[in-house]
Amino acid sequence: MSYPKRTAALASVAALAGSAVLMAAPAARAEVVNVNYQCKTPIGDKSAVSPIDIKGVKSGSGYKLTMSWQKGVSSSPVDLGKGAMNPSATIKLGGADSGTLSVTGPANQATVPANTPIKINDLTGTYTPKKSGKVTFTAGVLTIKALGTTTTCTPTNSPGASLTLDVTAASGSSGGTQSDSNTSDSGSALPQTGPEDSAIALGTLGGTVLLAGAAGALWLTRRNQAARARR
């Protein structure tokens, strides 16, 4: 094969490979976003910055989302024993969808020492698309319940989306068979017994009476004529 033909062939292969890479590009984009939390705690206001990561994995007709904190937020003036802290959070939806998604996770599996940043375990939730298109997922409010108290941490730096997914909404059809309310013309319908039939029946009865009256009048007329003829 000549050099020009070989070069052209290699260029064609490279173009096809580039097209294949573009076609295989994932329909998701994720990045770690720094979130500045302002927390309302039982002992006063506190603030902390934590990088937030949100991942989405296809699960049936929806996605399983996992929200992770890379640094601890807030703290406690006393030790938090195993199982004493229960975290939950919301994820804000944007783009093609809107609203919030709740994510939850297990209580702390080890004691959290006093006056140390509280490390939040991964929180998970299931997202089912209501609309098709690109949907963004952004860190929302974090809630920490411990020892009968509640701490609420709200993002104040308008963080960007940690995850973007290109989703397709599930079909709204139930898959059942819709019944047909129209009456089939089977030729075996029962006779009607409504007002129309009553009118027809009365009309027929009236016609019978009318015919009987005419016959009687004709008989009386012929009888009178016969009587006059005998005279």
Higher-confidence residue of 164 and 7: namely 164
What is the pLDDT at residue 77? 86
Give the model confidence (pLDDT) of 86-145 as tens digits.
Answer: 999 999 999 999 999 999 999 999 998 988 888 889 999 999 999 999 999 999 999 999
Hey, what are 128's tokens?
């089912």
177 pLDDT more than 60: no
- Give percent of the chain above pLDDT 90: 46
Hey, what are 153's tokens?
């941490």
What is the pLDDT at residue 170? 78
Give the model confidence (pLDDT) of 109-123 as tens digits.
Answer: 999 898 888 888 999
DSSP state of 109: S
Contacts of 72 (CB under 8 A, 6+ apart): 48, 50, 116, 117, 118, 119, 120
Length of the chain: 231
178 pLDDT more than 90: no
What is the pLDDT at residue 9? 53
Phi-psi region of 7 (alpha: psi -120 to 50; beta: other; left: phi over 0): alpha
Give the model confidence (pLDDT) of 2-44 as tens digits.
Answer: 545 554 554 554 444 444 433 444 567 888 999 999 999 888 8
Instruction: DSSP for 52-91, please give it.
Output: EEEEEEEETTEEEEEEEESS-B---SS-B-TT-EEEEEEE
Give the model confidence (pLDDT) of 34-84 as tens digits.
Answer: 999 999 988 889 888 999 999 999 999 999 999 999 888 878 888 999 999
Judged on CB neighbours under 10 Å (0-12, 13-18, 19+), 137 is buried
What is the pLDDT at residue 1? 57
* Integer Cα distance of 216 and 74 in angstroms: 113
What is the pLDDT at residue 217? 41
Q: Are 96 and 167 in contact (CB under 8 A)?
A: yes
What is the pLDDT at residue 72? 81
Task: Over range 182-196, report the average pLDDT.
Answer: 37
What is the pLDDT at residue 83? 93
